[in-house]
Amino acid sequence: MTYWLRLCLVGLALFAVQSVSSSSSVTNKVVCYFGSWAVYRLGNGKFEPENVQPNLCTHLIYSFVGLGYDGKVTVLDTWNDLPDGKDGFGRFLALRKQNPAVKVMAAIGGWNEGSQKYSQVMNDDSKRAVFVQSVVDFVTEYGFDGFDLDWEYPAQRGGAASDKGAYVKLLQELRPKFDERGLLLSAAVGAGRYLVQESYDLPSLSKYLDFINMMTYDLHGSWESETGQNAPLYASSVDTTPEAQALNVNASIHYWIENGATPSKIVLGMGTYGRSFSLPSAGLVGPGAPASGPGSAGPYTRESGMLGYNEICELEKEGGWTVVWDDEQKVPYASKGNQWVGYDNIESIKLKTQFAVDLGLGGAMIWSVETDDFLGTCAGYKYPLLTAINEVLSGGSITPPPTTSTSSTSSPPTTSSTTPGGAIDPTGPCKETGYVRDPTNCAVFYYCQLAGGIYTASRFECPAGLAYDPKMNGCNYKDQVDC
């Protein structure tokens, strides 16, 4: 799909997302985390707050602040975050000037903060009270619209069994203070059922949180001895044990709902990165193949065992990588030599977003904006994964992915533009939601939307010499189109 067509579709998506009321059962949140350390990356990986496109998100979350043993919120990178340095907080909050409707929040915790300190503070009534007041003071001082709790994880990683109850007490104490000030309270949570049983009281999380950001990724990785998809939508035939069969998005979401979580509070998390492995044998590359360790670090994230989507798509663009669609798990994987990575692409992101819509979940979340193709280096337009979420939320159609493709044989997106027209013909060519070509003029196409039981068609026209190609949902050279 071409750049200008994407812009038109994103506009429609944003209208659809923002026009849904908060009481609707329709998926309406697009929660975007920002890992603030990305400002230190090099080359095409360097990401500043100004790189965020706030019109693609309903909620932006700055990550992370920390916790002191005294129970107070601490700023982890004072030079990057505070006004007397790079003023990361202020610049992130300034994104509201571009989209006044977006809610800007701050998150505490993350994997590197661990659990032990959180366990000690939250199980101590006096320290927990200090923390609650410190959160309110922090949000008020800097002007955030809310706060996100990313304790990874209660009763895990050095925590105590009592963490599960202490977490509920924390939410009970934060809720009224947030309500008094009109603030949002959310949490990032682990998805796996075996973690959930020890860490979370699901009905209480639904009761006290405005929304729950489910981290339905990191379900497999280089800590295992076999290759596995980072975030499979469904189980694979290689998943032969009950534990393995539970490690997918579908099983995780249904477990949460069956055990008391409110579907409309759940925001489905998707990773804009993949988990990578090194292989002892380049000939065995499917899911469940033997792995000898983490994959090589990428040039921007510089962490073995993971690659940002922006790194993956650039590697594929260079050639030599074989990309395979895993139709059982509805996600792709790619391999080259002894390197293997399982990740999400545009097609799998669309399928997951549609999954969230079909289940009446509260929205979609990405971790995180800085590892999407935010420069448009590969797709020809910025933020292809985040755009894909917005496309589905707008009611756009999903194009089935190919079974197998090889990056060296794929062609780059065609560069063209579309010109919006004003004509809307309710008796026109629309039979279902999505794009359709004009039956008499191949250069003209429509975006069909169903509202109030009536289809309306927004008209577009390809530039001279181009025709609408239904196979790519965009304008293409006429000799490449079956007109």
Place of tokens 């477990």: 255
CA 137 to chain CA mean position, Å? 29
Residues 433-441: contacts with CB under 8 Å, at least 24 apart: 433/395, 433/396, 433/397, 434/395, 434/396, 434/397, 435/396, 435/397, 435/468, 435/470, 435/473, 437/468, 437/470, 438/468
Residues involved in catalysis: 152
Cis, peptide link before residue 153, omega less than 30° from 0: yes
Residue with tokens 């602040």: 65
Instruction: Return the biggest CA–CA distance within the chain.
Output: 73
Tokens at 240, concatenated: 């032969």
Question: H-type helices in 155-192, by residue range?
Answer: 163-181
The Cα–Cα gap between 28 and 18 comes to: 7
In this structure, the chain runs to a length of 483
Q: Which amino acid is at 203?
A: P
Residue for token pair 């027209």: 421
